Structure 1
């Protein structure tokens, strides 16, 4: 025991004393393609095996780390942990220590992530900020580098680091980044010398005096130092100023510490306001020097007087006003009074005062919470120009601002027609102006309850890329770029969060019986185009003519078209364990229960697959079934799953014992465990074979197998080679492997009943064109929703899920070929995804008063409904109609049928599943009487034939 204790002590002592041999010396947030390279620089002193260390990333001020493994043994070297190795090599090369690269896609962050170097459980060093926050960016598009002579303290010590500031690397190429970032220069000795830039303002009225920047070294160079720089800012060289020297390079001879970059202002008669000239360093011939952040100086305009100027001059033709910081006077019409909601109002020039330049806006927001104005007032305002979170505005609340009302009831300017898609540059030209948007379709309601926001687009809702396209990174990026121009926010003209009541675009108030649905078209709206929180947004000024049409709210479940109905229903974490993933209180649980039961009762299914139900020894499942039976005239029970897995949630099957019986042995797929058991895996699938036992059914004895699934979500990563960057998202490989295993397993008839049709249902967490769905289709399964309900999006039928305003189907009913012929209808019942989330069961905020015990928003996924009809189908010669009829229908080829056994003339009509008549005609005994289904989509149709004086005979036809 003593020897073991001593050995453990010595091992720990050696480990702790070895920790000071590896420290973090640099952190880079790159600005090349993909925001790379992102890199950590480690300094290894002596010989160290890095496998004894790891990096932990703490994102956005959080305390839950992501581990990054380290490998390799290094001696007295710098080692780089890199995300974006190609761009890293382009910037720094691959010679010397820059060949010591450990690739890791987990080195991410946008200026506020902390990184820790850890040995065992001991934190050796920290960079990027303290673990746990605050969340302020300190190195976004820039870098941090350890000062010479400092060493690791086990925590973030800002004084030990050179912190040049955010955005230092914006616009630089790889070579410039490599020259500016001082990787490889750390040494335990003295701190690095620095370069400081300062500037003196210029004035247009001074056209004979050179002023500008002073560049100073903290230490004179031992040999000539070359410093390259670039100019930036709002002022234009050659138009607003000229340089004393056109060189972009400064040379500091040995022993020299000071240089200057000087300019001469150019006087003109343009109203430009104060402009800026900036200087930043892009290259150092001696990287031991530390370049500070860029610096700007003001170029002051002498042409801006005190008379009113056009709002178009204030707005300018760019994203920001050219007159920011200047006091201006405008004279215009009040077009919108939002002092009660947005702390201000909007002004717009009268039509006669516009500049007719399509790139400059004639409207502007005035921040003035206490102003007493009305729409139609003509006012003269003197105020300072500001850019407030991206919106140009006038600060009418400033102590020096003045507001004079010159008259009332002036006609407001006519609104400008706004059509999507529109690029930001054109939207900017309408900022602050009255607009009349056309053809708006609601695509996202996520911000409705909290911010009063509705995201709208043109034509139809936005679609997930891989719902209609194969995964492809380049095509995905192009697709997303194209959609950025096709989305805008419709706001409620109120600031803050959770404003009550929740206003809808037509001016009405959200209620349980007055909803707003994604997919609806908004017409007749007039508003002001503003900007805030990084989005262009329309603030309504006139809702009186607004109409909402399309994607109407279902009031009942789809009418049953077959003998048997199967439903796949996600029940959104139905947990009887309160305060975990579902309801927080018993009251919330009863509210959730009421909605789920209302939905299940309305769908009136014979078999239901449940997803996201608590995995707690069937306690939650029993309660839900008992509650459903208490209000239903059916007799539901659940299938006893032999293995529910280790996840908190599971899948389940329930069925109506009055009509259906279990015809096999319930089976689950739990191997390999890495795919179906344990953290980060797919949930264990459950399969059972059922037989129709209801003797009142048209065809009792029908047998079919249902397998319910819940594949791994896209929410968290599974690692390189598993995650897909082409649109399929995280863990695509895990889901694909599950689909392969599932298809192989079902082919073995796991329930013990052979030759039955199989229906795969559930949340597969994959859009239609992703690998897991392809695997199952290649195995012979058919997406039933595309058979009978094709349409938006891209012939896939109603989407079942929305994420971030993008629509697609994660929920499926995939039928084997032998079962497909019996499918009469398959669709998503759209009572959840298109509805506002706040209408669910939760009691927080406004949701408490908006709750209704109906089926709307019982989940975030829409259920999938499939109807089956096991009666015979005409698919070849020799099938008949009924025993008492002499008429027979015979198939001649894929789309041609003939009637035999006619006694005389007969009339016929062909209908689809909805009863819509598609064709009519007459046939006569002995004559050519071909009936064609050419041109019809794949699916089931009904042909009804009536002879004179006799009853009708109906045949069911399956078209290929």
Structure 2
């Protein structure tokens, strides 16, 4: 499944809509629904957090954390620490610790200096404590802890239950926070409490974004721009020397980055008053350079913009390059005007004409390639590359008419459309991704600024006019912040139904059920069960991925999943399906990745009226299954069920393949259920690194080698052995891991037997693609294979994956 964060929790995301995710990220969800709820403090609290020290556009050289004391007595910090955690922790994330000493004076402050960045020209006031933590400018969590031992909690609920934690501040898109995370943090802005250190246990309420203002226990304060350009007075409305196209420049980075600009003229084209607050201005007097954008986003932090659409304004402030998700995520930046002051010259002005985007507007070629490099400093070629065209129109008004939906509306009110309807169409109305060199340049994300809700499926049409400023974010890249939305016209797409197998055909399926556990509503179990019975025609064997333990994300050591499976099997029976049985191996607690505390695992579900499971004891979470000689029978498993080499580094923090031996009508069949590691860590398809660095691929290559070696071991002992390898491989049919998995001809990937336009089981960022696979050994002749599209193309999907099934004689 894909990890996403709701818009209300995204803080400084530069679009209305959750870590930069690469194409097809699955299987690594973080815990979101809980918020830390420690009691409001009457003495020491965290009063300010700044992670932009030394970053692009920053004046201060260091990150810092400031404490405040609302009490009437000094607060002794002996044995205390401040600790920092990534905003998007995984099961292997660690808290970083800075020990404290001394005290926070009554009504005063205490300054902790953290890591130094590469830029900046202004030192902090003399710090009361010093650490080396390099904090993110955009998203993270800081805790005040009555201990110097690193915390181990990775969810808001668990941190709230830790008695050593006194105060927590989560900002940006932080998972661990009090209430909702604070917004407004960035390279040139901190998040801070008011002068009274008000603490309501809601970070979004208690903290606001503004220029950093560090103070120490002696009252020394300072920081900020050492020689700021004077803010123009309300009567000084003469346009300054720079226009927006001068600021944007002809590369991805502004030539004025980090500088203060005065009275930049423009017309307000759109206002965002929630989430990442601010407004777009566009210069109606464009230059003749197609590489320079005529618009810019004015970021107002926590302050609601006071301007209106149609206002002619002059704006002064500092130019900043904001990286949604942080620069290390690999995203491109958004050129912004920050800490603004504006004067309204007139209202009700006509807006600049929107750029109409049709099939011929955006180039077919997606991005320039700099092998192992970064495209930020390259001159834009908007007539050659799609990403360059989009960057050259950053912030400008664009308009699209009568466009096809290629990615269904999601819970964040995002909908993917294509501006190129003839670009790799699927038979059902999507756009299929056929290779790394063809990521479909016509895809564009639509997000509503008006609050109007779209409910569109793949193949629907967004009729009429959709228009608004062109924005960029870590999720999906370039998007239209629509001030005008078209109307959805249904394409009539229906969920598919698989053909039921004949009595002499063994049917084997794979289905990623997206973190299923008893804390899910019964309706989810019922809809998944309907998919098994109605749409998959009750397969004989199903490899299930993302079955969680009996209490889901609660991280209390529970690893058993018998309650999860009993509830699912009962739902299948209630839907008219068979009384399935199941086999699995419980994982070691918190060792298989996925949602912390969830202990997802692979499960083999089977119909005992159709197949027999061969049980051989001894298969536990750390014992490797092996292929052993079985005399005249050829080969058998040493244990059944069992896991493939579970102690190998290939499976570190990842699901271990589950192997089972079955008998169908007297014939032996081996089934290997898989869930390879997620694509988290890959640079985004739309990012600054072109081609994107696929950091997660290394582990999947190792996993593919392990599975290939295991299947090769079976076939070495019996070349006629029937082996089905299936599951969520988290990679494409043209990827190196899948090529490694099939190396030597030991397996055939059945997705490649379908027409090119039908090779998908998952839709991500508007690309129809396959992450799920069924592969078979050479002894399986003429398999009948089908991807059953019931989820990925629909806005009301039960899982983000489509199941697949193969029928074997």
1:794-832 Cα distance to aligned partner (Å, 9 max, x none)? xxx4333466777643322212222132x13x2322333
What secondary structure sits across from 2:86 in the alignment? helix
Establish whether residue 758 from structure 1 lines up as the match of residue 723 from structure 2. Answer: yes
What's the offset of the Cα at 1:600? 0.6
1:627 aligns with 2:592: no
SS where residue 636 of structure 1 aligns?
Answer: coil
Residue 612 of structure 1 corresponds to which residue in structure 2?
546
Label 1:139 to 1:372 Cα distance change in 2 as closer, same or farther (>3 A).
Answer: closer
5 Å matches for 1:567-586?
Answer: 567-576=509-518, 583=519
CA gap of 1:382–1:115, structure 2 versus 1, over 3 A, is closer
Q: Offset at 1:492? A: 0.9
Of 411, 425, 448, which residue of structure 2 is paired with 1:492?
448
> Within the alignment, does 1:435 sit opposite 2:398 as a pair?
yes
For residues 266-415 of structure 1, the aligned pairs below 5 Å read 318=249, 320=254, 325-327=261-263, 354-362=286-294, 380-384=312-316, 387=319, 390=334, 398=342, 400-405=343-348, 413=353, 415=355
Higher relative contact order (CA closer than 8 Å, sequence separation 6+): 2
1:412 & 1:726 partners in 2: Cα distance? 42
Tell me the distance in 2 between the aligned counterparts of 1:815 and 1:601.
24
Matched ranges for 1:931-946 at <5 A: none
8 Å Cα contact 1:728-1:767 kept in structure 2: no
- Aligned counterparts, 1:130-149, within 5 A: 138-141=115-118
Residue of 776, 795, 803 corresponding to 1:863: 803
For residue 697 of structure 2, give the secondary structure of its aligned residue in structure 1.
coil
Work out the CA distance in 2 between the residues paired with 1:547 and 1:136: 56
Q: How far 1:621 moved relative to its partner?
A: 2.7
Residue 66 of structure 2 is matched in structure 1 by none
Q: CA separation of 1:460/1:560 partners in 2, compared to 1, >3 Å: closer, same or farther?
A: same
| Counterpart secondary structure, 1:674 | coil
Find 2:747's aligned residue among 781, 787, 795: 781
In 1, the alpha carbon distance for the partners of 2:792 and 2:319 equals 37
Kindly tell me: are residues 457 and 770 of structure 1, through their superposed partners in 2, closer, same or farther at Cα, counting changes over 3 Å?
Answer: farther
Q: 1:790 aligns with which of 739, 755, 768?
A: 755
- 1:60 paired residue number: 86
Q: Is the counterpart of residue 516 in structure 1 residue 457 in structure 2? A: yes
Q: Compared with structure 1, are the counterparts of its residues 355 and 684 closer, same or farther at alpha carbon in structure 2 (3 Å cutoff)?
A: closer
Q: Deviations over 1:268-313 (max 9, x none)?
A: xxxxxxxxxxxxxxxxxxxxxxxx9998787999xx9966799966
Report Cα offsets for 1:40-78 as digits up to 9, x if no partner.
xxxxxxxxxxxxxxxxx975389999799xxxxxxxxxx
* Alpha-carbon distance in structure 1 between the residues aligned to 2:340 and 2:650: 63
Q: Secondary structure at the match of 1:566?
A: strand
Q: What CA deviation, in whole Å up to 9, does each residue of 1:890-927 have, x standing for no partner?
A: xxxxxxxxxxxxxxxxxxxxxxxxxxxxxxxxxxxxxx
Counterpart CA distance in 2 for 1:413 and 1:607 is 60
**1:658-807 pair list within 5 angstroms:** 660-662=610-612, 667-670=640-643, 672-675=645-648, 680=653, 682-683=655-656, 685-691=658-664, 703=667, 705-714=669-678, 728-730=697-699, 732-745=701-714, 748=717, 755=720, 757-768=722-733, 769-771=735-737, 774-787=740-753, 789-792=754-757, 797-801=758-762
Q: List runs of 5+ in structure 1 lacking aligned partners.
A: 1-28, 32-56, 69-112, 117-122, 126-132, 151-155, 167-291, 470-475, 505-509, 577-582, 693-700, 718-723, 840-855, 871-960
Distance in 2 between the 1:386 and 1:370 partners?
17
Cα offset, 1:599, TM superposition: 0.7
Tell me, yes or no, if the aligned pair for 2:578 and 2:607 is still in contact at 8 Å.
Answer: yes
The answer to whether the Cα contact below 8 Å between 1:440 and 1:522 also exists between their aligned partners in 2 is: yes
Q: Does 1:833 align with 2:792?
A: yes
Paired residues, number: 529
Structure 2 residue ranges without an equivalent (≥5) = 1-52, 56-82, 102-109, 138-222, 323-333, 367-384, 427-432, 550-558, 590-598, 617-639, 682-692
The 1:349–1:63 alpha-carbon spacing in structure 2 relative to 1, beyond 3 Å, is closer
Contact kept, 8 Å, 2:526 with 2:575, in 1: the verdict is: no
- CA 1:297 to 1:747, structure 2 compared with 1: closer, same or farther past 3 Å? same
CA distance in 1, matches of 2:132, 2:725: 57
In 1, the alpha carbon distance for the partners of 2:362 and 2:661 equals 53
Q: Alpha-carbon deviations, 1:681-727, whole Å to 9, x = none?
A: 653523233435xxxxxxxx8x462504124424789xxxxxx9666
Is the 8 Å Cα contact of residues 525 and 543 (structure 1) preserved in structure 2?
Answer: yes
Does residue 820 of the first structure (1) align with residue 793 of the second (2)? no
Give distance in 1, aligned partners of 2:270 and 2:88.
42
- Matched with 1:654 is 605
Q: SS at 2:495's partner residue?
A: coil
Is residue 495 of structure 2 the alignment partner of residue 599 of structure 1? no
Tell me by how many angstroms 1:676 deviates: 11
**Corresponding residue to 2:479 among 520, 537, 540:** 537
Question: Any idea what the Cα deviations from partners look like across 1:67-98, whole Å, max 9, x if unmatched?
Answer: 99xxxxxxxxxxxxxxxxxxxxxxxxxxxxxx
- Higher-Rg structure is 1
**Local SS of the residue matching 1:491:** strand
**Contact in 1 for aligned 2:405/2:415 (Cα 8 Å):** no
Give distance in 1, aligned partners of 2:112 and 2:496: 48
Residues 761 and 814 of structure 1 are in contact (CA less than 8 Å); yes or no, is this contact kept in structure 2? yes
Classify the secondary structure of the residue corresponding to 2:605: strand
Give CA deviations for 1:143-201 in whole Å, capped at 9, x if unaligned. 99x99xx9xxxxx97458999x99xxxxxxxxxxxxxxxxxxxxxxxxxxxxxxxxxxx
Deviation at 1:391, TM superposition (A): 5.1
Contact 2:317 2:341 survives alignment (8 Å)? no
Does the CA contact (< 8 Å) of 1:419 and 1:437 recur in 2?
Answer: no
Question: What does the per-residue CA deviation read over 1:302-334, in whole Å, with 9 as the maximum and x for residues that have no partner?
Answer: xx996679996676561559696323666x6x7
Distance between the aligned counterparts of 2:776 and 2:521, measured in 1? 34
Measured in 2, the distance between the counterparts of 1:61 and 1:726 equals: 20
Match in the other structure for 1:557:
497
Residue 728 of structure 1 and its aligned partner are, at CA, apart by 1.6
Partner in structure 2 of residue 637 of structure 1: 580
Task: Supply the distance in 2 between the matched residues of 1:311 and 1:780 (Cα, whole angstroms).
Answer: 64
Partners in 2 of 1:612 and 1:759 — Cα distance? 19
Whether the 8 Å CA contact 1:381–1:403 is kept in 2: the answer is: yes
More helix, by proportion = 1
Q: Is the 8 A contact 1:689 1:705 kept in 2?
A: yes
Deviation, structure 1 residue 629? 1.7
Measured against aligned partners, the alpha-carbon deviations of 1:411-462 in whole angstroms (never above 9, x if no partner) come to: 973634342545665445434543234897767679x434747586863599
Match of 1:449 in 2: 411
Tell me the CA shift for residue 782 of structure 1: 1.5
Q: Distance in 2 between matches of 1:866 and 1:635?
A: 18
Once residues 810 and 790 of structure 1 are traced to their aligned partners in structure 2, the CA distance between those partners, rounded to angstroms, is 17
Counterpart CA distance in 2 for 1:134 and 1:704 is: 69
Q: Write out aligned runs for 1:258-269 (5 A).
A: none
Q: 1:611 to 1:124 in 2, by over 3 A?
A: same
Tell me the CA shift for residue 595 of structure 1.
1.6
Distance across 2 between alignment mates of 1:343 and 1:143: 25
CA deviation after TM superposition for structure 1 residue 538, in Å: 1.7
* CA distance in 2: counterparts of 1:365 and 1:62, whole angstroms: 26
Q: CA deviation at 1:354?
A: 4.9
Q: Give the conservation status (yes or no) of the 8 Å contact 2:229–2:260.
A: no
